Amino acid sequence: MKVAVVGYGTIGKRVADAVAAQDDMKLVGVFKTTPDYGAILAARRGYRIYAPDDRRENFRKAGVEVWGGLADLISEADIVVDATPDGVGAENKGLYVKAGRPAIFQGGEEADVAEVSFNALANFESAVGKRFVRVVSCNTTGISRVLSALRLNGLGIRKARIFIARRGADPREYKKGPINDVVPNPATIPSHHGPDAKTVLGDVDIVTVAVAVPVTIMHMHMAYIELDDTPSRERVIDALASTPRILLFDVKAGYNSLAQIVEWARDMGRPRGDIWEVAVISDSVTVNGRELYLMYGVHQEAVVVPENIDAIRAVGRLADKWTSIEKTDKALGIIA
C-alpha cells in the first residue's frame, strides 16, 4: 500500500519512519511546508519531499529537491496520513475526498473529521474498510490501552477516574510552557480525554481530570478503576503484562521515575528514545477489593505511531487486528 504523510512534525516524521519499516507499505513521500532541518533530514533519509508550489524555490535554495505539490503527492498514494497541526487535517480533508483517497487523521482533530476514531486494541474492527479514520490522541491512546487490557482479560470496568499530569510541551517546542506552574488543563471537568476515550471504548463510565506540568518527556496518569470483580493483584499484573504495547517497569529494578524510563529507551538504542508502549509503574498497581489503582507514563511523541500503522492496515484490509498489531510491533521493535 502506497502511503503519503502530510505534515512532517513530531508525529508525521515518526509515522513516516514506521511506514518505511513495514514490508506491506511503501512511503511515497512527505509534504513539508518549510525547507527547515526537518526537510533536509527527511531528504537525507531518502524520502521524497513535496512542498507548496509557491515555496519550491525556497526548498531548492536550501538544497532540497521537490517532487511535486500536495495534489501530486495525494494522487501518487493509496492512502494519506495527515499529521498536520490541530484543525488543519479537517481543512485538508476536502482534498482527500476530491482525490478519492482514504485518510488517517490525528487526535487533535475533532472526532467528526472521520467515520470512526481508532485504537488498535479497543476497536480495530470498526475501522476495517472505512475511508476516514482518526487515531485518538496520546493520552486517550494510553487510557484506551490500559482499559482494553483489563477488558480483553475478562476484567469488566464499572468506572474509571483518571488524573493526568500532561507534559507542558514536546521537547523541541521552545515557546510553550508552563516553566514554573501547574495549570489546570483544562480547568473544567471532565477534561476532553474521558469523552474521547468513549469514541473507541464505547460505553464506559469514565471521568478524566488534567493539569499541565513543566515537563517535556512524558505524560503521567494516575488511575482509579472500579472493577466488576475482585481480582488478585497478580491477575491484573498478568492482564497488563500479556497485552501488547504495555510494559511494566519496576521501582526495585531502578525505574524510580519517568526520566529513568526515558533513559531505558535511550540505552536500548530506540530511535529518538521513543517509547511506543504505555509504561506502567508496576509497584503502583494496587488492588483493594474491586478498586484498582495504578500509575503509568505515556510518551506523547511515540505512543500513537503504531496505532497509525494499524489504522492504515484496517482501512486497506491488509490484515486482521492481531496480525496487524504483531506485524507493526515486530517491524518497530516493540517488546512483545
Enumerate the active-site residues.
138
Q: Which three cell numbers stand for residue 9?
A: 512534525
Q: Nearest 5°: phi and psi at 282?
A: -60, -35
CA-to-CA dists, residue 194 to 112, 164, 177, 218, 219, angstroms = 16, 11, 23, 19, 15
Q: How far is the CB of 124 from ligand NAD (least distance, A)?
A: 18
Stretch that binds ligand NAD, among 85-93, 147-155, 285-293, 328-336 (CB under 6 A): 85-93
Task: Cite the beta strand spans of the chain per DSSP E.
Answer: 2-6, 26-31, 49-50, 79-82, 103-105, 116-118, 132-135, 157-167, 183-184, 206-213, 219-227, 246-249, 278-281, 286-288, 291-298
Q: Of all residues in this chain, which one has the CB nearest to ligand NAD in the complex?
A: 9
Spatial contact of 144 and 193, defined as CB atoms under 8 Å apart: no
Q: Which three cell numbers stand for residue 93?
A: 480533508
Contact between 191 and ligand NAD per CB under 6 A: no
Give me the residues paired with residue 54 across strands.
none
Q: How far is the CB of 250 from ligand NAD (least distance, A)?
A: 26
User: Can you tell me which of 137, 199, 208, 243 binds ligand NAD, judged by CB under 6 A?
Assistant: 137
User: Can you tell me which of 33, 126, 216, 284 binds ligand NAD, judged by CB under 6 A?
Assistant: 33
Spatial contact of 90 and 108, defined as CB atoms under 8 Å apart: no
CA-to-CA dists, residue 103 to 89, 139, 214, angstroms = 10, 22, 34
Site for ligand NAD in 54-83 (CB under 6 A): 83
Interaction pattern, residues 102-131, with ligand NAD; x per rule: CB under 6 A: ----xxxx----------------------
Interaction pattern, residues 293-332, with ligand NAD; x per rule: CB under 6 A: -------xx--x----------------------------
Q: How many CB atoms lie within 10 A of CB 55?
A: 15
Stretch that binds ligand NAD, among 26-34, 179-187, 244-252, 259-267 (CB under 6 A): 26-34
Site for ligand NAD in 255-294 (CB under 6 A): none
* Contact set with ligand NAD (CB under 6 A): 6-12, 31, 33-34, 83-86, 88, 106-109, 137-138, 170, 300-301, 304
